[in-house]
Structure 1
Amino acid sequence: HLSSLGGRSGMFVVNELLIAKGRSLDKITQAQTLKSYALLSLDLGKLAASQYLIEMVLAQALSEQPQEELYDLLNQHLQQLEELPRLDSWSVLRHLTQAIFHFLTLSGMTPEVQVCCLTGRALIPDFNESKSQVGFSVPAGGTLSLAAWQQNPEVVLSRRLNAIELAILQQLSLPQLEVFTTDQYNPSWLRVEQILRSYTQYHFERPIRSAALIDSYFDLLISTNHDATV
């Protein structure tokens, strides 16, 4: 921390800075705090999710180039994360998953989730068939029909999705999540986040280091819940 900045250099603090150009290093001469998301640091799930999103922003940020949409989207999602009930871990996961999708969309790397990448035919979740599945290919850019994939074995199949996971992916572009937000769908949300994480890391060509904290946090949460019900 820079002592002259005090609390303005803390985590999740949004500042407006006056920067003086130097020969080798620039110098911050003035800072005004615009917004602080202090409550994010008080909840481990929110902290991990916020760091995850900031890593995505850093992967998209251009040096010395204004990116107002990226800035606004980050503030929007940090605000929404902060407003979630404290210790409501699964709501944090659902919000994180949708936020990942929104940042991918802003970057121009939206995964295809409505149609098969190979045939262009619509993919509709089949809730009447328990074994109904589609595929997801990170290199190919999204969802695909397993029948089409079998005819194109050179395409990498990254993951198989059941009907619920496909339906979750297909609603992530909505402004607000409307369905699949009850406890029975929590494992599906974990798998969808992991799919989008793999997609993000592949196309941004860098790891999301905060994802390890997300994994540890939810592994512990699931283990604790399991022990409590045994």
Structure 2
Amino acid sequence: MPREYRATGINLKGMPLGENDRLLTILTKEHGLIKAVAAGARKHRSAMAGRSGLFVVNDLQIGIGRSMDRIKNAEMLQSFVGLGKTLARLTAAQYLSELALMQALSAQPQEELFLLLVEHLTRIQNAENHHVLAHLVHGTYHLLAIAGFAPQVYSCCINQSAVIPNRENPKWKAGFSIVGGGVINLENPPLSDGNPNGDRAYQLAEIGSEAMQNRISHYLTARELLAIQELTQADLTDNILESHVTDWLAVERLLRAYAQYHFDRPIQSSALIDNCFFNI
């Protein structure tokens, strides 16, 4: 039985261990989520000090121990030093890493999750200051997507009718149901079982009913819905990137609530979101 293994991984958490060591939580492509000791990482001028930092990608040689695995060698492949230059970038990176940790599995390959996280951390690091929030929200949506939780944003989660934002009408809104898993079309509400003929007045009355209202957890303006619909794309267009920060904050809060519901735990890093981005 092999006593060691190799992996490419990114450090997502670290904590002191003993006097000089550090215990790392690492997302690897080949073995999923692992914990390993970086011996001597807290010693002055230790070669492991930089390689054991957060958001550092290493080529690792890891020895299997009785109680804990130990890093025998680490070669740095990528370092996201730019993430620490502003509180907004660091908060966004911690936010995405939390989401990755919530869904990462141990003892099986997690290449798709690894590559997706590294890609979105790269975008956040390289983004202009006023685009960081948009890239955070984009990364959040895609992490939800590979977890199998992506919300339905183009069609109504109740009756599957197309939901098309009307930017010409400042009062236009769509609903969103966290429990239902996506947007709700308020212009074409679902038929009631007690109204098979589809009387329009009756349908509108149904929208105001307690049953329907209980399904709606959020309301979206046309601009907010347009932004959330664009999150499904691999890249954000320049036009969407320039959406107002208040629109992105609204979408972030919605996806935060949605993620916390489906993962059944809070996103601790989200506490700083408003402070980081509200005045940008």
Counterpart in 2 of 1:123?
Answer: 163
Q: Which structure shows the higher strand fraction?
A: 2
The answer to whether 1:61 aligns with 2:120 is no
Counterpart in 2 of 1:225?
Answer: none
Deviation at 1:181, TM superposition (A): 2.9
Q: How does 1:181-196 map to 2 (within 5 A)?
A: 181-182=241-242, 185-196=244-255
Distance (Å, rounded) in 1 between the aligned partners of 2:78 and 2:168: 48
TM-score by length of 2: 0.73
Distance (Å, rounded) in 2 between the aligned partners of 1:40 and 1:17: 22
Task: Please identify, of 68-77 and 142-151, the stretch whose mean Cα deviation from structure 2 is larger.
Answer: 142-151
The answer to whether 1:170 aligns with 2:229 is yes
**Contiguous gaps of at least 5 residues in structure 2:** 1-21, 23-37, 42-47, 191-205
Identity of aligned pairs, percent? Answer: 42
Deviations 1:23-50 (A, max 9, x none): 2222221212111011111111110000
Distance (Å, rounded) in 2 between the aligned partners of 1:110 and 1:26: 35
Q: Indicate the structure whose relative CO is greater, using CA pairs within 8 Å and at least 6 residues apart.
A: 1
Distance (Å, rounded) in 1 between the aligned partners of 2:164 and 2:256: 23
> What is the DSSP-based 3-state SS (H/G/I as helix, E as strand, rest coil) of the residue aligned with 2:240?
coil
**Number of aligned residues:** 217
TM-score by length of 1: 0.88
Counterpart in 2 of 1:45?
Answer: 88
* 8 Å Cα contact 2:133/2:277 also seen in 1: no
Distance (Å, rounded) in 2 between the aligned partners of 1:196 and 1:80: 19
The answer to whether 1:70 aligns with 2:113 is yes
Output the aligned Cα RMSD. 1.7
The answer to whether 1:102 aligns with 2:142 is yes
Distance (Å, rounded) in 1 between the aligned partners of 2:184 and 2:212: 12
Higher-Rg member (1/2): 2
Deviation at 1:56, TM superposition (A): 0.7
Counterpart in 2 of 1:18?
Answer: 61
Deviation at 1:175, TM superposition (A): 1.8
Q: Which structure shows the higher helix fraction?
A: 1
Distance (Å, rounded) in 2 between the aligned partners of 1:97 and 1:19: 34
